Structure 1
Amino acid sequence: MSSNEYLTERAYESCELCPRHCGADRASGKVGVCGSTSQPRVARSALHFWEEPPISGESGSGAIFFTGCPLRCVFCQNHRISQEGFGLPVSTARIAQMMLELKAQGALNINLVTPLHFAPQVREAVLLAKDAGLDLPVVCNTSGYELPQVVSAMGDVVDVWLPDFKYASPSLAGKLSGAPDYPDVAAAALSRMVEQVGAAGGRALADDGRMTRGIIVRHLVLPGHVDDSCAVLDRVWDIAGNGVDVSVMNQYTPNGRCRAAGGDLARAVSDEEYEIVLCHADDLGFENIWWQEGGTVSESFVPGFDATGVEGPELGTSEIGD
């Protein structure tokens, strides 16, 4: 398909919106590998304070958490929405209205969390919100497991890309996320993001430190897999160099499934493991590195997925700006 075809409802008829290429007729109510039909669902719309400083600042990021995900990570902390399907159905107009409500609450940006399996409606919602006065940067917060064509299709409405780069090893990606093609897919998607942001002028910050254009690549260090973490950073450096910020995270928290299975994933990342990965990022030459201090292993990093901010009037049914 051409990039434009990824933006129409026809994209759902034999779905090719993610690298799974499952071909599900989501338009007719079939569920794709992502766990979703073509009906967008949202689990939470609220200010979020636990992103990197250029994203959350002190005022908070306006995060809209979409239901479903093409990956099946065994350690996922958001499994209630990524794999168990929690979320309320919403219209395109309602998504746009949520963006305006978050702006009114003082959000630094609009943070679309795992949105691209709903790319056609999400892009339309951003355009509707902009027509109604939205003037905040739009962040696309993704697992990194995206098609370059979809990244291209969303390029005119996304200002900041916030992708994960989870694995360098295909075998580890297959074991933990059911996606042995993850490293190459994530590399191709990141390359397209770098091209887009570079063509727009590169990384940009506002006077208050918020990122208005750029890329922050996130990597969650997994216990027992320091070598793979360092290989991830090598690959990101080869693709982008200092065209991206990197965020090295130590907040891995074993969920019940991982605790029951035992092994390295049943424990937290050690200080020594985390320090090795941080030092490697520094040795590579990354100029903008974000890291987490001790005490981050906690389920408090998981928002309350309780449909906060999801229900309400649609765009056009109430006074905008009241």
Structure 2
Amino acid sequence: MKDCTLCPRNCHADRLGGRRGYCGQGAEIMAARAALHFWEEPCISGETGSGTVFFSGCVLRCVYCQNHNIAESRAGRIIGWERLSEIFLELQDKKANNINLVTPTHFVPQIALALEQARLGGLHIPVVYNTGSYERVETLKRMEGLVDIYLPDLKYMSSRLGERYSHAADYFETASAAIAEMVRQTGGPDFDDKSGLMKKGVIVRHLVLPGCTADSKKVISYLYHTYGDRIYISIMNQFTPVCELSFFPELNRRITAREYEKIVDYALDIGVENGFIQEGNTAEESFIPEFDGEGL
């Protein structure tokens, strides 16, 4: 972190010296919430919830980000890695099904220390790495043996969409290499026979965006024909305009039921069986918790 290259931005910020990287963060861990979360896939949340830590900052900063108030600002509280280790154990004591690290990339060295310490203290539930997938393979390798479940996005295949919406024309090339590393680390999916909770594996999420169904089909096709049943694909319809989108008017609406149905039907037609879909008007519900420092 003296010359930070943790993420593909390779900004070389001296975060140890007080500078902030592209992610907006320095060397100290900043988080906005650590609590039970019930809005992940059923095999992650279960009945008692996922022990979710929302980290501040982000290496992508998508223009439509639903967590933009912590991804793009300095909102949150500073905690040390020792305190983070305690938080993991406290979430386990609250009957969390797993530890869920949301947007962890820019804090990987500290998180790795915290997880190693927590395991010495009795942490035994699975660890989930929840990411937008703009990751360096070298950084992910630091988490090998510490992460049980990867929960990455695959947002776009189109470099034009990657540049326009996430300032990353190389998004697909970078994210697909990262997902390949995740699958290498975890292997195929493994579930608890009694609870149905995932113990190990990869679930790749794809959020369907307004007017982008052609690209969505390419994403689903790539994932299925590359990995088959070695991963699960989660197709999400919950896109909700929550940011200022005057420069992106095409995104200033929810997706239609027909748009989502087209993608789900396509997935079924090509043979996808290991997957999750969202039913009903999930975009009308709030999937965004209060980032009030709970649990920190």
What does residue 315 of structure 1 align with? none
| Paired residue type of 1:48 | H
1:281, 1:289 within 8 Å by CA — same for their partners in 2? no
> What amino acid maps onto 1:14 in structure 2?
D
For the aligned residue pairs, the C-alpha RMSD in angstroms reads 1.1
Matches within 5 A, 1:196-275: 196-198=185-187, 202-206=188-192, 207-258=194-245, 260-261=246-247, 263-275=249-261
Q: Does 1:89 align with 2:78?
A: yes
Q: Among residues 145, 148, 167, which one is paired with 1:159 in the alignment? A: 148
Give 1 or 2: higher helix fraction. 1
Map of 2:165 onto structure 1: 176
Mark the runs of 5 or more structure 2 residues left unpaired by the alignment: none
Instruction: Report how far residue 298 of structure 1 moved.
Output: 3.3
Partner of 1:209: helix, strand, or coil? coil
Give the 3-state SS of the residue equivalent to 2:16 in structure 1. helix
Query: Which residue, 48, 51, 59 being the options, matches 1:62?
Result: 51
2:18 maps to which of 29, 33, 49: 29
Moved over 6 A (4+): none
Q: For structure 1, list consecutive stretches of 5 or more residues without a partner in the other structure.
A: 1-11, 311-322
5 Å-filtered alignment, 1:186-201, equals 186-198=175-187
Rounded to whole Å, the distance in 1 between the matches of 2:33 and 2:290 is 8
CA offset at residue 299 of structure 1? 6.0
Q: Per the alignment, in what secondary structure is the counterpart of residue 139 of structure 2?
A: helix
Amino acid at match of 1:277: I
Query: Given residue 173 of structure 2, which amino acid in structure 1 is its aligned partner?
Result: D
The two structures have a TM-score, normalised by structure 2, of 0.97
Shift of 1:264: 2.7
Q: Secondary structure of the equivalent of 1:166?
A: coil
Distance 1:62 1:254 in 2: 27
**Which of 261, 283, 289 is equivalent to 2:275?**
289
Partner of 2:5: 16
Partner of residue 104, structure 1 = 93
Q: Structure 1 CA distance, aligned partners of 2:18 and 2:184?
A: 35
Deviation at 1:296, TM superposition (A): 0.9
Letter in 1 for 2:48: S
Aligned length: 295
Post-superposition Cα deviations, 1:41-90, rounded to whole Å, max 9, x if no partner, equal 11000000000000001110000000110012110010111101211111
Contact 1:191 1:239 in 2 (8 A): no
Q: CA deviation at 1:32?
A: 0.4
Q: 1: distance between equivalents of 2:101 and 2:10?
A: 22
Q: Secondary structure at the match of 1:301?
A: coil
SS of the residue aligned with 2:87? helix
1:301 aligns with 2:287: yes
Is contact 2:65-2:243 (8 Å) kept? Answer: no
Residue 318 (structure 1) aligns with = none
Letter in 1 for 2:199: T
- 1:297 partner SS: helix
Q: Matched residues in 2 for 1:167 and 1:89: separation?
A: 33
Opposite residue 135 of structure 1, the aligned amino acid is H
Partner amino acid, structure 2, of 1:107: A
Equivalence for 1:50:
39
What is the aligned-residue identity percentage? 46
